[in-house]
A and B are shown apart, each in its own frame.
Chain A
Amino acid sequence: MDLKSIQNFFKRRHDATDKEKAEFSAQLEAAHDNIITMEALERDFDSMDKAKRKALYEKLEKEATKYPMAVARHDELFNKPFLSLRAKMEYFRGVKRDENGKILRSKEWYADRKALLLTKRADSEARIKNIDEELAGIAKELGE
């Protein structure tokens, strides 16, 4: 079952017969069974070596190719299958979001971020020094 089928069903859901609704529900459940559950992922992730993690990620990524690079949504129902898959894939790189798609941060993340910003600040000061030196050299070449 692909995203288009789900969209098509929701577009005409008010006109669907009970039989069609039952068939759609069965297809949705079957599709869900093919996707690794978040619970299983959390349970098994720590015990996986890098090769196994990569293989599992590739499986998820194959599933994700059904979706475009970025998906716009204005319908809660439309978006849910995508978010579920995304949550699983993002688990591999330690990303967690709230229900509105906002990335959740830990104290460790803020500490790492602070260290990075301080480094960037020092780098910027060093760059300005290098730029000033190069500009002085250019001014000399130009006879200014």
Chain B
Amino acid sequence: MASALFNSFKRDIMNGGLDLDTDTIKAQLHTSTFAQNIDTMTKRSDLTNEASGTGYTAGGASLANKAVTVDNTNDRGVFDSDDLSWSSASITARYVVLYKSRGGASSADELIGSWDMGSDIVSTAATFAVAVNANGWLLAS
């Protein structure tokens, strides 16, 4: 399954419902059985098959150092952050889903997109880290 942005995110970013560099944006890990539906999934409560394991807390982790910048070489806007890591973790996951966290019920948290890491990534009592792509999390061109 390819990486993709949820359709509700495309609306939210246009109507100001989401501000990528000032809102709390979190990353949640999912297993290979997660089936993304960009039409029907709009809130975190719509997601299934979240990963679990030692060192991982449901809901995932917040992105640090979020940045929305301009790339004048390639005529793009870019959303980026620090890499993510879960230390001393025993986790198996294939997908990363980003969402806006409102700090309460998952039914209030707006979805952004999901990223396919290509295959199951496994950590056993080790650091599980996600390195952000060289083009950032997402770009607008």
Contact = CB atoms under 8 A, between A and B. Distances in A.
| Co-complex (A, B) | yes
Interface of A: 50, 53-54, 57, 60-61, 64, 67-74, 79, 82-83, 85-86, 88-90, 92-95, 97, 100-103, 105, 117, 120, 127
Contacts of B115: 68-70
B25 to A, nearest CB: 14
A83 B131 contact: yes
**Chain B interface residue number, banded:** 35 or more
Contacts, number: 107
Given A70-B117, A120-B19, A101 B74 contact: no
Indicate the member of A53, A72, A101, A102 with the most B CB atoms within 10 Å. A72
Interface of B: 3, 16, 19, 22, 64-65, 67, 69-74, 78, 80-83, 85, 93, 96, 115-118, 121-123, 126-135, 137
8 contacts: A50-B72, A69-B116, A69-B133, A70-B130, A72-B121, A74-B128, A92-B71, A97-B82
Contact of A70 (B19, B82, B123, B131): B131
A89 B121 CA distance: 24
A100 B65 CA distance: 13
A101 B69 contact: no
B134 A85 contact: yes
B111 to A, nearest CB: 16
Given A50-B73, A54-B74, A74-B123, A101 B132 contact: yes
A94 B96 CA distance: 25
A102 B69 contact: no
A78 to B, nearest CB: 10
Contact of A117 (B22, B65, B74, B121): B22
Nearest to B70: A93
Enumerate the 5 nearest inter-chain pairs by beta-carbon distance, A residue then B residue, closest first.
Answer: A101-B83, A89-B134, A72-B121, A68-B118, A86-B134
A51 B138 CA distance: 23
Contacts of B137: 70
Given A72-B93, A100-B83, A102-B83, A93 B71 contact: yes
A14 B68 CA distance: 44
Given A103-B81, A103-B82, A120 B22 contact: yes
Contacts of B134: 60-61, 64, 85-86, 88-90
A93 B73 contact: yes
